[in-house]
């Protein structure tokens, strides 16, 4: 079975306050995009192995035990009867980009394995398991825009019609960990939340809908701010850092003509 494991962008990301558990309360609109990893999950015809995992595409150095696909298999195997399986991950979403690739892999693995289980779990239980794998993971069990609140576990479907807009997604080969990005933020409750601001036309979003990580990330990596401004110079209606970065995106009314230095950073472009 073939599954597409999508990336996401954040439209606005407000860091509202530090929680007693060490996490932050946030509000952000998460929107799936066309860039995706590819997962193949099939029964393994072997009595000697429970799981066989392989990967291709973008390379990353990580201990296999820390791989989120393996963690997803392990947590689901503890809940229901799974046959021996082989999982192949073809990686196209860069790591440390703020696109949620690892979280997406974990949740899509849960969905794929659950389809093979003798006693599949409900979507409600899958969401609970996904939350233990990462704050963003429950979002990727769905394929629709969601308002994310709390530390990321509170999800509300949002009707947001971006039909007709063209998305340009950049990755400037800078890897930023969430821990690094959070160290530079100063939480604050703004006058207007993202949930209110997204009701305005996209052409009004510039200067209103902000990603709070930009304040500190752009100081450390000024190249990112330069790229954002060039997206606007190229005609973007709205441009932003996604998540904690370093990916950026622009929403355009039509396919843009980009200068060479932007085209070199494009990892995906198409209708959103």
Please give the positions annotated as active site. Answer: 8, 136
Answer for the pair 248, 211: CB distance below 8 angstroms, yes or no: no
Nearest to 206 by CA among 181, 233, 226: 233
Q: What 3-state class would DSSP assign to 145?
A: coil
Dihedral (CA of 34, 258, 217, 221) sign: positive
**How much is the CA Rg of the chain, to the nearest whole Å?**
19
Which residue's structure tokens are 């959070």?
182
57: left (phi over 0), alpha (psi -120 to 50) or beta: left
């Amino acid at each position: 079975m073939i599954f597409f494991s999508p990336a996401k962008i954040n439209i606005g990301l407000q860091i509202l306050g530090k929680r007693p558990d060490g996490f932050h309360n946030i509000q952000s609109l998460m929107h799936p995009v066309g860039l995706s990893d590819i997962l193949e999950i099939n029964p393994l015809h072997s009595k000697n192995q429970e799981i066989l995992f392989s990967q291709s595409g973008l390379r990353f150095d990580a201990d296999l035990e820390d791989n989120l696909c393996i963690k997803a298999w392990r947590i689901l195997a503890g809940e229901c009867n799974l046959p021996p399986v082989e999982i192949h991950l073809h990686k196209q979403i860069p790591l440390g980009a703020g696109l949620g690739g690892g979280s997406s892999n974990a949740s899509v693995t849960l969905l794929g394995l659950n389809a093979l289980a003798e006693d599949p779990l409900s979507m409600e239980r899958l969401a609970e398991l996904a939350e233990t794998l990462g704050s963003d993971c429950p979002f990727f069990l769905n394929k629709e825009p969601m308002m994310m609140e709390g530390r990321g576990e509170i999800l509300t479907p949002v009707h947001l019609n971006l039909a007709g807009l063209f998305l340009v997604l950049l990755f400037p080969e800078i890897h930023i960990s969430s821990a690094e990005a959070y160290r530079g933020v100063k939480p604050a409750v703004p006058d207007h939340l993202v949930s209110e601001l997204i009701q305005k036309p996209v052409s009004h979003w510039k200067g209103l809908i902000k990603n709070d990580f930009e304040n500190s990330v752009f100081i450390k990596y000024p190249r990112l701010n330069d790229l954002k401004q060039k997206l606007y110079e190229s005609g973007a209606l709205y441009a932003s850092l996604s998540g904690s970065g370093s990916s950026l995106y622009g929403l355009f009314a039509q396919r843009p003509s980009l200068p060479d230095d932007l085209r070199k950073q494009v990892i995906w472009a198409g209708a959103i």
